[in-house]
Amino acid sequence: MVTTPRDSFDSLISENSNPQITEPEPPSSPRNVFRPFTDTINRAQALASAALTDDSEFTYNHNIFYDDKTTIDWMHEFAKERQQRRIAWDTPGVRGQALRLVNTSRRWIILIGTGIAVGLIAACIDITSHWIADVRLGYCQNAFYLSRDSCCSGIATNDPCPGWIEWSSSYFLRYMMYTFICVICATSASVLVITYSPHSKLSGISEIKTILAGYIIKGFMGKWTLLIKSLGLGLAVGSGVWVGKEGPLVHVACCCANLLIRYTSREHNEAQKREILSAAAAAGISVAFGSPIGGVLFSLEQVSYYFPDKTMWHSFVCAMIAAVTLQFVNPFRTGKLVLFQVEYDRLWHRFELVPFAILGIFGGLYGAYFIKLNLKYAKMRKTTFIKNFPILEVAILALITGLINYPNVYMRLQPSVLLSYLFQECNASTPEALCNLDNWSQSVALLLSACGLGFLLASYSFGVALPAGIIIPSMCIGALFGRAVGILMATWHETNRDFFLFASCPAEGTCVTPGVYAVVGAASALGGVTRLTISIVVITFELTGALNYVLPIMAGVMVSKWVGDAIGGKRGIYESWIHVLDLPYLDNKDDEPVPVVYVKEFMTSIDDLVVIQTNSSDHVNTIDSLQSTISSCTFQGFPIVNQDTILQGYIFRSELKFSIDKALLFDHLTGETECVFESRDAEDSSCLLLREWVVQAPPTVTSSATLQLVSNMFFKLGLRYICVVDKGKLVGLITKEDLWRLFNSDRLKTMAVPILGTVNDESRQGLLHDDV
């Protein structure tokens, strides 16, 4: 028999309306989950609000404390949200209307504020990184703070600009200046990250996925993280290191939303917070690609864990506000949200599906081997002396990157500028090397060399102590390869117009558009490394604005995912890094079959647990004994049993510690004070009553339950732990982290797999065995 920690929400609310409650009830019991706080709890809340800061040990949330590196109680948070709505609707008069207006408008204020903040920050990052990238090559004579585009406004890209001055007429000195600025900017970003905010490194998407699944990571979305991530991102992207800003912008957006939640609401609901963070993630992708719809789909497909229908609408509004804000600032002075927005006016031909499929194969191969090589570098970084010198590692990487980038005309460009050139049809602003089919061999050689070197540099750069994304570098690598294939196809057509495959091409003019191949290659590479599908197609479509090219893009992404899954498995780069970072993330979208394993084979036995025994004639709990229990172990909670090990309840470590500290501080109790977990008929001032902190009906299963049942309970009920009992006696415990470690270890493969129904021992009869 499986019991849940709480009854239905309706019964909880209806029973809460009883005004005769005088005895403190446990926060998880049906009579007390939504009970108004007593004076003692109000004092505790005032203490927590006044004393707890960003770096405090606990997050106070009504009767729930969440330690760092623990998971939230989804059922409690959803129930609390429903109760808040009920209170607002039951409050009569003007006060009730005002309360309903505040509850409704608070979320929209946060979403709109997040969109505006993300748009402004993204514009600042774009301006900064674009200027640094240009300064590596020269400076504006009239105004040093202007980028080349602003300095040479109105002048074509290939035409000389008298206002823009290169650092020297000597190739060697220009080479050295480029490399020097690359090293200085990348190292500065690394120093900021290591010194002030270690949470700011990497893209942050892996951690955000885990947070949205209910995990708590203190400080990951704080104000220092936002500041350092924004500053470091501009420096890192502008330095020329093969990292992108698109993934980190998701982290920046979630930081903005988290800070607005913190400063606009006194009471935080962790479930509501995660819905808002899902919407904020969509805003981050929206400003990165100028793709609001693609941002919503990216949040749904990649980032979000719990995504109800209302979150879809919230995500769209937040993404739209962010895109409009970025459009209003117009950081590139082109009217475009990103530099690589393009439009095509030519149609594609059926024979091109074959090279498009080849690009999909390349994208899948790239994604599979990129992840393998990147994880190998990550393991090397953790197990060798390199881990002790993260800043030096970045400096050496930047030096090598600068030395490799500059000789290749494509690699020395900023990634967004490179993509804009690769995506373009041949026109006056396109570099001549991309359109000169007479010298196609040199162009293809440069493109393929840039593709190979970029693959090696990007696979190592993603993982160093920098704010770093992998989306744009992957798109650049795919676009380089795609443009090379496009040039080969265009050259083949120009030299063999009478070939039967080109029968549908016009007799005169251009038949093959190499820029389309670059777009398909970019989408395929991104799909291979992230294992995403729909969101990539939509983002690419919004970038090109050409509905005619949706089918080629879909074909490339589809083949890319098939090849990537076949060679490297279904984990994309972000899921792989979740395992590198050792984050307890249970993927609720995983469709892998769960083996038949019984709970007793993987639970933590009672012999390895620390339990609290209720008071009896030969055992008395005191404040000192409970403090000794807390300090003697690192368990996040303690089952409560009687002297016969019959399960009586469960109490979390953080709540037990807080209640004891509060009693010592406010109630002036001593260490010899008796602590009582069970109910008493009357208040006893000489005892510390802890029943209100005890989960009276913890979730339980029998030891003969299967792994499939337990995993479904964790996935669908959002549980933090499950007690294992046989005939009411506690025999073990399972936590969400235990289940995660089991799924990600080789132990599961070696366990015995009995056939269901073959075990008939007495332990499987359950609580009703004596009555049968």
SS3 629: helix
pLDDT at 54: 39
Which domain, by its residues, includes 295? Answer: 103-329
Determine the number of helices (DSSP H) and then strands (DSSP E) in the chain. Answer: 26, 13
Same domain assignment for residues 612 and 522: no
Cα separation of 62 and 80, whole Å? Answer: 9
pLDDT at 264: 81
pLDDT at 645 over 50: yes
pLDDT at 225: 94
CATH number at residue 572: 1.10.3080.10
- CA geometry: angle 121, 461, 337, nearest 5 deg: 30
How confident is the model over 572-593, as a mean pLDDT?
85
pLDDT at 20 over 50: no
Token pair of 437, please? 């089919």
Same domain assignment for residues 457 and 383: yes
Cα separation of 343 and 515, whole Å? Answer: 10
pLDDT at 156 over 90: no
Average per-residue pLDDT for the chain: 82
pLDDT at 114: 95
Over the range 295-317, which residues count as b (16 or more CB within 10 Å of their CB) and which as e? bbbbbbbbbbbbbeeebbebbbb
Domain boundary among 580, 608, 635: 580
Same domain assignment for residues 518 and 435: yes
pLDDT at 488: 92
Residue percentage of the chain with pLDDT more than 70: 85
pLDDT at 688: 86
Over the range 32-53, which residues count as b (16 or more CB within 10 Å of their CB) and which as e? bbbbeeeebbeebbebbeeeee
Across-strand partners of 598? 706
How confident is the model over 370-377, as a mean pLDDT?
95
Same domain assignment for residues 318 and 449: no
What is the dihedral angle through the alpha carbons of 535, 540, 541, 544, rounded to the nearest 10 degrees?
A: 160
Cα separation of 38 and 26, whole Å? Answer: 12
Closest CA to 562 of 362, 377, 738: 362
Lowest-confidence pick of 3-7, 20-24, 123-127, 340-344: 20-24
pLDDT at 332 over 80: no
Residue 82 domain-assigned?
no
Same domain assignment for residues 124 and 267: yes
Higher pLDDT, 375 or 740: 375
Residue 360 domain-assigned?
yes
Cα separation of 149 and 130, whole Å? Answer: 9
Instruction: Please write the tens of the pLDDT for every residue from 173-230.
Output: 999 999 999 999 999 999 999 999 999 999 999 999 999 988 889 889 999 999 999 9
Q: pLDDT-derived band of residue 465, with 50, 70 and 90 as boundaries?
A: very high
pLDDT at 50: 36
Beta strands at 637-641 and 612-613: parallel, antiparallel or unpaired: parallel
Lowest-confidence pick of 419-428, 547-556, 757-766: 757-766
pLDDT at 146 over 50: yes
Residue 16 domain-assigned?
no
Same domain assignment for residues 241 and 386: no
Distances (CA, A) of 307 to 296, 304, 310, 314, 556: 11, 6, 8, 11, 28
Same domain assignment for residues 524 and 605: no
Domain boundary among 526, 546, 580: 580
Cα separation of 492 and 485, whole Å? Answer: 10
Token pair of 155, please? 């002048």
Q: pLDDT-derived band of residue 339, with 50, 70 and 90 as boundaries?
A: low
Residue 626 domain-assigned?
yes
pLDDT at 540 over 80: yes
How confident is the model over 327-353, as a mean pLDDT?
77
Same domain assignment for residues 567 and 607: no
pLDDT at 200: 92
Distances (CA, A) of 617 to 116, 621, 642: 64, 11, 11
Would you list the DSSP string of 603-637? SEEGGGS--EEPPBTTB--BHHHHHHHHHT---SE
SS3 469: strand
Would you list the DSSP string of 731-744? EEEEEHHHHHHHHT
Count of positions (residues) in the chain: 772
Same domain assignment for residues 479 and 372: yes
pLDDT at 472 over 60: yes
pLDDT at 429: 67
Closest CA to 360 of 537, 494, 169: 537
pLDDT at 684: 61
* H/E stretch holding 519: helix 514-530
How confident is the model over 587-611, as a mean pLDDT?
84
Same domain assignment for residues 517 and 625: no
- CA geometry: angle 83, 87, 90, nearest 5 deg: 135
CATH number at residue 693: 3.10.580.10
Q: pLDDT-derived band of residue 725, with 50, 70 and 90 as boundaries?
A: very high
Same domain assignment for residues 163 and 305: yes
Sheet strands (E) in 118-190: 138-140, 164-166
pLDDT at 132 over 90: yes
Residue 284 domain-assigned?
yes
pLDDT at 680: 63
Cβ(598)–Cβ(704) under 8 Å? Answer: yes
Cα separation of 134 and 240, whole Å? Answer: 10
Residue 180 domain-assigned?
yes
pLDDT at 456: 95
* H/E stretch holding 724: strand 721-726
Question: Positive or negative CA dihedral for 404, 406, 407, 412?
Answer: positive
Instruction: Please write the tens of the pLDDT for every residue from 241-263.
Output: 999 998 899 999 999 999 999 88
How confident is the model over 422-426, as a mean pLDDT?
83
Instruction: Please write the tens of the pLDDT for every residue from 489-504.
Output: 989 988 888 888 888 8
| End-to-end C-alpha distance for the chain, whole angstroms | 15
Q: pLDDT-derived band of residue 84, with 50, 70 and 90 as boundaries?
A: confident
Domain boundary among 329, 362, 388: 329
Cα separation of 487 and 437, whole Å? Answer: 7
Q: pLDDT-derived band of residue 266, with 50, 70 and 90 as boundaries?
A: low
Distances (CA, A) of 647 to 31, 598, 612, 622: 20, 21, 10, 20
Same domain assignment for residues 608 and 651: yes
Number of Cα atoms under 13 Å in the Cβ half of residue 29: 17
Cβ(532)–Cβ(572) under 8 Å? Answer: yes
Cβ(445)–Cβ(538) under 8 Å? Answer: no
Residue percentage of the chain with pLDDT more than 90: 41
Token pair of 405, please? 């980038």
Residue 185 domain-assigned?
yes
Total count of domains within the chain: 3
SS3 604: strand
Q: pLDDT-derived band of residue 35, with 50, 70 and 90 as boundaries?
A: very low
Residue 60 domain-assigned?
no
Cα separation of 296 and 285, whole Å? Answer: 8
Q: pLDDT-derived band of residue 596, with 50, 70 and 90 as boundaries?
A: confident
How confident is the model over 707-736, as a mean pLDDT?
89
pLDDT at 521 over 90: yes
Instruction: Please write the tens of the pLDDT for every residue from 438-462.
Output: 788 888 999 999 999 999 999 999 9
Distances (CA, A) of 694 to 23, 24, 719: 14, 11, 16
Distances (CA, A) of 253 to 211, 293, 541, 549, 667: 14, 16, 23, 31, 43
